[in-house]
């Protein structure tokens, strides 16, 4: 009889990574609430300006996303995680000091968002590439589920805590809390004892060749190619929504900052549930089928946001139900597809593969932010949100009409699949 698999709860280094991730996620949620509120309430940002801010927050994935993967594969990922946390903490500290001294402006927020975006590219690519080597391939699903659960808890706690704090202190002070959490995250990751073995320097090839290998791996894998297309389209239209949703909630629905924070927290409970059941749900439905099924659930979650302006129920209720559907489906989808990517890819290619995926799926977001800002400026927030809902439906097509709907098990690295 096979002994039961030991939980990652007992893995000391994973616990340290988990704590660092939890601190960073909580702080990021606070800033995710406070930064757009600072722009809309205190700097009177227009739809076009919010579109530029949304674009700046993800621009680095499009600009430097591909070479970062090759660089990360040549570096010790733990050191990259620590440095990225320190850069983000320092940048937020500068934004806070200038805002509190009356020197805050939208150009300042654009620059801060661009720097944080660049640091986040290095952090995210390193993080996804670090987990498999730290916990082992057999624990990838459990590790990703725990990290997604942490993100979901942060999405529940962060906006609610931020809403309460915004009643007591200004938005820059709430952002300052995030700077502290990034510092604590760097400390936690710095305590990881496992040491990485870097590939020998003589095995390195020209940067262009290594970047091409990562991108080629993504586009030549039939199932991975469909998953990336789904994620990229969904992110494009998610950014369209993000450009105007705060203006829609605060100005058109008339919510105050605390009510909006409560809406985000209550909706994020769906993500917490998704993280708790994703592993079991994938085993029950099938680890292949769960990807298109969870993608389909993006649609009602996205459509309920603009419906909050017309349904004969309190808008907060509609936004909460939509947020619940969306966060549940996104977490289930992400646990399944990230675990598949990590299992499919050779360890030496993980950084470049993850960077290539991020380049495509996150590189769409600054474009979406610009489109959303333009649509909001020309047509208004509500029509823009309906465009985003239509885009969510479009994003399901690459995985809905694919072999994934018939597959219980996804292939491993030595199992090619015919499409």
**Residue 63 scores a pLDDT above 80:** yes
* Mean of the per-residue pLDDT values of the chain: 85
Q: Is residue 385 part of a domain?
A: yes
What residues contact residue 92 under an 8 Å CB cut-off, 6+ apart?
31, 112, 116, 175, 176, 178, 179, 182
Closest-CA residue to 368 (of 236, 241, 244): 236
Q: How far apart are the first and last CA of the chain?
A: 38
Give me Rg for the CA atoms of the chain: 21
Identify the pLDDT of residue 391: 97
Q: What is the DSSP string of 276-302?
A: HHHHHHHHHH-TTTHHHHHHHTHHHHH
Q: Is residue 198 part of a domain?
A: no
Q: Is residue 419 part of a domain?
A: no
Provide the pLDDT confidence category of residue 201 given band limits of 50, 70 and 90.
Answer: low
Closest-CA residue to 87 (of 30, 24, 144): 24
The answer to whether 376 and 51 have CB atoms below 8 angstroms apart is: yes
Segment holding 334, helix H or strand E: helix 315-344
When pLDDT is averaged across residues 24-43 and rounded to a whole number, the result is 84
CA distances from 64 to 115, 355, 414 (A): 12, 9, 31
348-370 pLDDT per residue, tens: 777 778 778 878 888 899 999 99
When pLDDT is averaged across residues 84-100 and rounded to a whole number, the result is 93
Identify the pLDDT of residue 234: 96
Q: What percent of the chain has pLDDT over 70?
A: 93
Segment holding 101, helix H or strand E: none
* 3-state SS assignment for residue 362: coil
Lowest mean pLDDT among 78-82, 120-124, 127-131, 275-279: 127-131
Q: Helices 350-361 and 315-344 sit at what angle, rounded to 10 degrees?
A: 150
Identify the pLDDT of residue 203: 61
**Residue 390 scores a pLDDT above 90:** yes
Q: Is residue 101 part of a domain?
A: yes
Q: Is residue 2 part of a domain?
A: no
Closest-CA residue to 320 (of 270, 272, 266): 266
Provide the pLDDT confidence category of residue 381 given band limits of 50, 70 and 90.
Answer: very high
Q: Provide the domain limits for residue 115.
A: 11-190+207-406
The Cα 121–Cα 127 span in angstroms is 10
Q: What is the CATH number of the domain that holds 38?
A: 1.20.1250.20
* The pTM of the whole model exceeds 0.85: no
Identify the pLDDT of residue 211: 77
The Cα 281–Cα 333 span in angstroms is 11
**Residue 415 scores a pLDDT above 50:** no
Provide the pLDDT confidence category of residue 30 given band limits of 50, 70 and 90.
Answer: confident
114-147 pLDDT per residue, tens: 999 899 888 887 887 787 778 776 777 777 778 7
320-348 pLDDT per residue, tens: 999 999 999 998 998 888 878 877 777 77
- Domain total in the chain: 1
Q: Extract the tokens encoding 180.
A: 């502290």
Q: What is the 3-state secondary structure (H, E, C) of 129-187?
A: HHHHHHHCHHHHHHHHHHHHHHHHHHHHHHHHHHHHHHHHCCHHHHHHHHHHHHHHHHH
Identify the pLDDT of residue 350: 73
Burial class for 376, CB neighbours closer than 10 Å (0-12, 13-18, 19+)? buried
């Amino acid at each position: 009889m096979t002994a039961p698999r030991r939980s990652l709860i007992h893995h000391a280094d994973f616990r340290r990574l988990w704590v660092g991730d939890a601190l960073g996620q909580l702080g990021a949620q606070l800033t995710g609430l406070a930064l757009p509120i600072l722009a809309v309430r205190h700097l009177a940002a227009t739809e076009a300006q919010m579109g530029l801010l949304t674009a700046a927050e993800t621009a680095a994935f499009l600009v430097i996303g591909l070479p970062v993967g090759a660089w990360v594969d040549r570096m010790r990922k733990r050191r990259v995680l620590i440095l990225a946390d320190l850069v983000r903490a320092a940048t937020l500290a500068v934004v806070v000091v200038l805002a509190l001294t009356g020197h805050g402006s939208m150009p300042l927020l654009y620059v801060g968002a661009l720097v944080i975006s660049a640091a986040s590219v290095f952090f995210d690519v390193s993080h996804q590439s670090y987990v498999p080597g730290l916990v082992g391939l057999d624990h990838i699903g459990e590790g990703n589920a725990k990290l997604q659960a942490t993100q979901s808890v942060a999405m529940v706690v962060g906006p609610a805590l931020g809403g309460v704090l915004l009643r007591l202190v200004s938005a820059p002070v709430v952002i300052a809390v995030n700077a502290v959490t990034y510092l604590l995250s760097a400390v936690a990751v710095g305590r990881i004892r496992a040491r990485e073995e870097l590939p020998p320097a003589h095995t390195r090839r020209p940067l262009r060749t290594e970047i091409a290998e990562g991108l080629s791996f993504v586009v030549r894998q039939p199932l991975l190619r469909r998953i990336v297309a789904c994620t990229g389209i969904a992110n494009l239209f998610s950014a369209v929504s993000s450009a105007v949703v705060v203006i829609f909630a605060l100005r058109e629905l008339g919510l105050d900052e605390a009510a909006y924070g409560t809406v985000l927290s209550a909706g994020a409970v769906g993500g917490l549930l998704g993280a708790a059941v994703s592993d079991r749900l994938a085993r029950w439905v099938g680890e292949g089928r769960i990807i298109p099924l969870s993608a389909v659930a993006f649609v009602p979650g996205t459509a309920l946001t603009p419906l909050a302006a017309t349904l004969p129920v309190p808008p907060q209720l509609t936004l909460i139900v939509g947020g619940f559907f969306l966060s549940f489906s996104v977490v289930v989808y992400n646990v399944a597809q990230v675990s598949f990517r990590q299992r499919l890819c050779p360890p030496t290619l993980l950084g470049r593969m993850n960077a290539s995926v991020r380049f495509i799926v996150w590189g769409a977001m600054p474009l979406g932010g610009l489109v959303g800002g333009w649509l909001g400026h020309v047509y208004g927030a509500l029509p823009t949100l309906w465009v985003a809902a239509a885009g969510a439906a479009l994003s399901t097509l690459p995985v809905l009409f694919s072999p994934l709907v018939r597959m219980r098990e996804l292939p491993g690295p030595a199992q090619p699949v015919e499409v």
